[in-house]
Structure 1
Amino acid sequence: MITEKAPGKLYIAGEYAVLEQDCPAILVALDQYVRVSIKRSASDTGLIHSKQYSQDSIHWVRQGSKMVIDNRDNPFEYILSAISFTERYCLEKNVKMDVYDLFVNSDLDSADGKKYGLGSSAAVTVATVKAILHFYGVKATKDLVYKLSTISHYSVQGNGSAGDIAASVYGGWIAYQTFNKTWLAEELAAKRLSDVVSEAWPGLKIQELVPPEGMDLLVGWSQQPASTSRLVDKTNANKKNLKAEYAKFLEDSRNCVLKMIKGFEENNIKLIQKQIAVNRRLLQHFAAINNIAIEIPRLTELIEIANKFGGAAKTSGAGNGDCGIVIVNQDTNVDLLRREWLKNNILPLEFHIHHSELTF
Structure 2
Amino acid sequence: MITEQAPGKLYIAGEYAVLEQDCPAILVAVNQFIRVSITKSKSSTGSIHSKQYSQDSIHWVRRGAKMVIDNRDNPFEYILSAINLTERFCLEQHIKLRVYDLHVNSDLDSADGKKYGLGSSAAVTVATVKAILRFYNVPFSNELVYKLSAISHYSVQGNGSAGDIAASVYGGWIAYQTFDKKWLKRELTQKSLSEVVDEAWPGLKIQLLTPPEGMNLLIGWSQKPASTSRLVDETNANKAALNVEYKQFLQQSRKCVLRMIDGFEQGNIDLIKMQIRENRKLLQHFAQINQIAIEIPRLSKLINIAESFGGAAKTSGAGNGDCGIVITDEQTNINELEQQWRKNNVLPLDLHVHQVKLMQ
TM over 0.5: yes
SS in 2 for 1:214: coil
Give the distance between the partners of 2:55 and 2:350, measured in 1 at CA: 27
Unmatched tracts of structure 2, length 5 or more: 57-73
Identify the residue that residue 343 of structure 1 maps to in structure 2: 343
Q: Which residue of 2 aligns with 1:61?
A: none
Contact map agreement 2:24 2:176 (CA 8 A) in 1: yes
2:300 is aligned to 300
Identity %: 74
Cα deviation digits, residues 75-128 of structure 1 (max 9, x gap): 600000000000000000011111100000000000000000000000000000
Give a deviation string over 1:159-187, Cα, whole Å, max 9, x none: 00000000000000000000000000000
Contact 1:75 1:124 in 2 (8 A): no
Give the 5 Å matches for 1:158-237: 158-237=158-237
Q: Tell me the equivalent position of 1:70.
A: none
TM-score by length of 2: 0.94
Alpha-carbon distance in 1 for matches of 2:252, 2:183: 26
Residues 86 and 132 of structure 2 are in contact (CA less than 8 Å); yes or no, is this contact kept in structure 1? yes
Q: Does 1:14 align with 2:24?
A: no
* Deviation per residue, 1:21-41 (Å, 9 max, x gap): 000000000000000000000
Aligned counterpart, 1:120: 120
Give a deviation string over 1:235-287, Cα, whole Å, max 9, x none: 00000000000000000000000000000000000000000000000000000
Tell me if the contact between 1:48 and 1:103 (Cα under 8 Å) persists in the aligned partners.
yes
Matched residues in 1 for 2:123 and 2:144: separation?
Answer: 15
Q: Which residue of 2 aligns with 1:68?
A: none
Whether the 8 Å CA contact 2:12–2:25 is kept in 1: the answer is yes
Instruction: Report the Cα offset of residue 54 of structure 1.
Output: 4.1
The CA deviation string for residues 191-235 of structure 1, in whole angstroms up to 9 with x for no partner, is 000000000000000000000000010000000000000000000
Residues 217, 325 of structure 1: 8 Å contact kept: yes
Kindly report the root-mean-square deviation, in angstroms, between the aligned alpha carbons of the 2 structures. Answer: 1.2
Runs of 4+ in 1 over 4 A off after TM superposition: none
Instruction: Report the 3-state secondary structure (helix = DSSP H, G, I; strand = E; otherwise coil) of the residue aligned with 2:53.
Output: coil
For 1:95, the equivalent position in structure 2 comes to 95
Counterpart CA distance in 2 for 1:315 and 1:353 is 18
CA contact (8 A) 1:172 1:356 kept: yes
Separation (CA, whole Å) in 2 of partners of 1:182 and 1:291: 28
Correspondence for 2:243: 243
Q: Could you list the runs of 5+ residues in structure 1 that have no partner in the other structure?
A: 57-73
Amino acid aligned to 2:267 = N
Helix, strand or coil: the match of 2:340?
Answer: helix
Contact 1:75 1:121 in 2 (8 A): no
Work out the number of aligned pairs and report it. 343
Retained in 2: the 8 A contact 1:86–1:132? yes
Give how far 1:55 is off: 5.5
Shift of 1:53: 2.9
Cα pair 1:28 1:167 within 8 Å, conserved: yes
Equivalent residue number for residue 329 of structure 1:
329
- The CA distance in 2 between the partners of 1:258 and 1:226, in whole Å, is 28
TM-score by length of 1: 0.94
